[in-house]
Structure 1
Amino acid sequence: MNKILIIARREFLTRVQKKTFLLTTILLPVIIFGLYGLIIYFSIKGKDDLHIAIAGGNNALTGKLENNKSLRFSYLNEKDPAALQQLLKDKQYNGFILLPDSFKADAHDSLELVTLSSVGLMAKENIERRLNAGIEKIRMQRLLAPGVTLEAMDSARTEIPLRVTKAGKSDSTGFAYGLGFFCGILIYMILFIYGAMVMRGVMEEKTSRIAEVIVSSVRPFQLMMGKIFGIGAVGLVQFLIWIALVIGLQLLLPLIFPGMGDQVAAQAPGVPGAMTGSSPMVNAMKQLSQYMGDANMPLILLCFILYFLGGYLIYSSLFAAVGSAVNEDPQDAQQLMLPITMPIIFSFVIMTQALNNPDGGLALFGSLFPLSSPIVMMARLPYGVPAWQLLLSLAFLVLGFLGTTWLAGRIYRTAILMYGKKPTWKEMLRWAFRKG
């Protein structure tokens, strides 16, 4: 065990002390945050408020169009297009819509927005939506019986939001879906990235003949486990740093962009914060805190670490076995990796089904089977998983790690010192089950 720790320490320090590790670990979240901040900045600061003039039409739309901070309508009696064009040149308005004198809300004539500058697709759809809503009000008013107001009609067709409760706790399906997908895809990436890192490390030592010197002092199994533990520790430290940096940088967003909440309220009139007068950013943070409390984030974080370690140990041992069997030709590694990568890909497919039906039979199988449980179970956890399923899944994960480690160790001890022969999985399995 002491020799395994020595090898693990050497693998850990070799990679952590490289400049590339520091750059990817610290600069990557900062770069992502910077890009994210630029997107928010340009979405807030780079968007001009639109002021549209509605002219003509015998004032049929006066007072019928909804205004907010990003889009305002004014109603003019002017009907001369040249005079309206001059108003645009004087920058009093961003555009105008000249309604014909025969304008009727019942007709299906198209309207024309005249501007001096380009209008984006989202802005066009926003103006079009407000116009259609105003025209709908006029049509509905004509159809109402005497004594029935338009406000009463609107209240009669108000949509009632559906809230889901599970075991007496409020639950957000959208939040659970997003969190489950994020955790599952993160494990999916970990298995590929760090598994391939183990394989390349083993291949480098074999092709450079360093392994011949090392195995004279340690057993091949100790060498394999040392490399797995060392690289796994690098991955765990790297992701913990990423999580801390991402959380810390996210908390800085409201301080850097204090007007972000007001901008959200202006673009979404139905946001509760906009109606109650409280800050929508505060409401969103409160709602997010409630969702995170209901989702039991400490348990999810603990399980993420456990499934990260379990999934990594299972697949890294198999990747190490492949790396020990490969010689100088990288194409051999690509061919031997297929039986290892296919379960990871199938796990991702099962995860997409589990997100839509977290209590289904396929989701249960995927969260218990050791080769797919790291991805599928992490996708199911935000929805809530019975304790017996979680414990059984972890038990199978440990058994899966012991089984794959035994199999990979048997292959590794023979393949690491074999050169000049193109291996196959059939031959590698014969090495694994050979006596002696």
Structure 2
Amino acid sequence: MSKTLIIIKREYLTRVSNKTFLLTTILTPLLFVVLIAGTTYLSIKGKETLSVAVADSNGFFKNNLKSGKSVKFDFPDGVDTTNYLAKGYSAILLIPKVDSNSKTNYIIRSKKGIGIAAKSSIEDRVNSAIEDHMLQMAGVKRDALDSIHNEAQQGQLISLQEKGDSATESNQGLAYGIGYASGFLIYITMFIYGIMLMRGVMEEKTNRIAEVVISSVKPFQLMLGKIIGIGAVGLTQFLLWVVLIIVLYNGAQMFISPETMQQVQAMQQGGGMSANSAQASEAAQKIYQFKHLMNTANWFTIIGCFIFYFIGGYLFYASLFAAAGSAVEDVQNSQSLTMPITMPIIFSFIIMTTAINNPDSSVAVWASIIPFSSPIVMMARVAYGVPGTVPYWQLILSMASLVIGFLFTTWVAGKIYRTGILMYGKKTTWKEMIKWAFAKY
């Protein structure tokens, strides 16, 4: 055991003391912030308002068809399909006579293709205009109709999740973001540290360092030490990210004026409905909304599950990566051996993208229990609530399956590693590796 600890210490300190580790630990969160901010900026900046000329055969659309941020409607004279581009319009909307007894097809023509969002927006606005016209024909006045539209937008849906006899507020948008970010982070780290482990094993085998080490350490001890040491590096990096985020969050509050923070505290004490909430500044309201949003998540459960599935998922796949690394001597041959390992990880990520939209689907439930996919998929479901969306029995079964899974893969990989680390000059296949795994010594 002492020899394994020495290997763990060596693998851990060698990588943690590396400048690359320190730079990636600090720069990765900042890179994500810049990436998210840049994507948001480009998505907002890249949105162009579609200028649409409308040819109406009915006469009532001019007063009912409303423009939006992405689509601007105009009703010019003398504009048709032959000259709308010359007149400065991106597209022309042709609306024939609307017959209330049959379905009416209206056509939009443009030189360039129209996106799905713009097409959907135009379709919704045309149908809303027809609906408004029908209401006016039924006796509803224009000013009353406008008033109804404005007042109807005052409602806000609050989602409550039942927990026994009580109910707590939940936020699907936050759960979606946490689930996606957690699953994606585990997906990336399993690849990064799995490949790092495999290359480390390959280098020691190619340089014949493994032969020297194995003379004093058992092959299984060497493999286990490398797996735990490199896994501890990943866990350290994650914990440092958490500390960095907390420091940045608390540091950002220092730049907020005391008056604004007093307004936020007043809103928190009044549950957001205090008498002076309406008089609170816009900044105070946004800060309160952000804090209230973050409080809807059970961070203790989410972080605890993340650490477990990060460690469990890493141990499950890292042992297989180590086994593949021990059986090859060059990168080209390793690609064919790592394909069966990486494909389940990729499929797990694909399933996760559907699980965050429908966490109760049968595919999401079973994928969150099976150890090949549970580290990534379960985090997409946990964010929606435990035991609401994820019953305790599913979480316990998933954790138990993952523990049994990585114990099994570590045992199998250990037997492959023992044979493969000392085998040279031969191209190894998975068929041979399976024989090594179940051979009796």
Inter-CA distance 346–281: structure 2 relative to 1 (3 Å threshold): farther
- Cα shift readout 1:117-149 (whole Å, capped 9, x = no counterpart): xxxxxxxx9xx99xx9xx99x999987959864
Match of 1:9 in 2: 9
Match of 2:114 in 1: none
How much has 1:3 moved relative to structure 2? 0.9
Overall identity of the aligned pairs, in %: 52
- Residue 432 (str. 1) matches residue 437 (str. 2): yes
How much has 1:235 moved relative to structure 2? 0.7
Amino acid at match of 1:3: K
For the residue of structure 1 that corresponds to 2:325, the secondary structure is: helix
Match of 1:242 in 2: 241
Q: Distance in 2 between matches of 1:401 and 1:280?
A: 51
How much has 1:22 moved relative to structure 2? 1.5
Amino acid at match of 2:199: R
TM-score normalised over the length of structure 2: 0.70
For the residue of structure 2 that corresponds to 1:295, the secondary structure is: coil
Match of 2:99 in 1: none
**2:157 aligned to which of 145, 162, 176:** 162
Give the unaligned 5+ runs of structure 2: 46-65, 78-83, 89-117, 261-272
Match of 1:187 in 2: 186
Q: CA RMSD in A?
A: 4.7
Match of 1:302 in 2: 304
Amino acid at match of 1:357: N
Please give the residue correspondences for 1:408-427 in structure 2 after superposition, counting only pairs within 5 Å: 408-427=413-432
Match of 1:222 in 2: 221
Match of 1:266 in 2: none
Inter-CA distance 354–8: structure 2 relative to 1 (3 Å threshold): same
For the residue of structure 1 that corresponds to 2:169, the secondary structure is: strand
Q: Distance in 1 between matches of 2:31 and 2:368?
A: 34
- Cα shift readout 1:361-402 (whole Å, capped 9, x = no counterpart): 211111111111100111100112111211111111110111
The structure in which a higher percent of residues are helix is: 1
- Residue 286 (str. 1) matches residue 250 (str. 2): no
Amino acid at match of 2:236: V
Q: Distance in 2 between matches of 1:165 and 1:195?
A: 40
How much has 1:174 moved relative to structure 2? 1.7
Between 1:297-306 and 1:151-160, the stretch displaced more is 151-160
Contact 1:37 1:253 in 2 (8 A): no
TM-score normalised over the length of structure 1: 0.70
Contact 1:33 1:249 in 2 (8 A): no
Amino acid at match of 2:183: G
Match of 2:109 in 1: none
Amino acid at match of 2:331: P
Match of 2:28 in 1: 28
Contact 1:140 1:150 in 2 (8 A): no
How much has 1:247 moved relative to structure 2? 4.0
Inter-CA distance 392–285: structure 2 relative to 1 (3 Å threshold): farther
For the residue of structure 2 that corresponds to 1:412, the secondary structure is: helix
Match of 1:175 in 2: 174
Q: How many residues align?
A: 373
Contact 1:307 1:374 in 2 (8 A): yes
- Residue 400 (str. 1) matches residue 399 (str. 2): no
Give the unaligned 5+ runs of structure 1: 47-65, 71-96, 101-108, 114-124, 262-271
How much has 1:281 moved relative to structure 2? 4.4
Q: Distance in 2 between matches of 1:346 and 1:222?
A: 31
Amino acid at match of 2:214: V
Amino acid at match of 1:333: S
For the residue of structure 2 that corresponds to 1:383, the secondary structure is: coil
Between 1:138-147 and 1:342-351, the stretch displaced more is 138-147
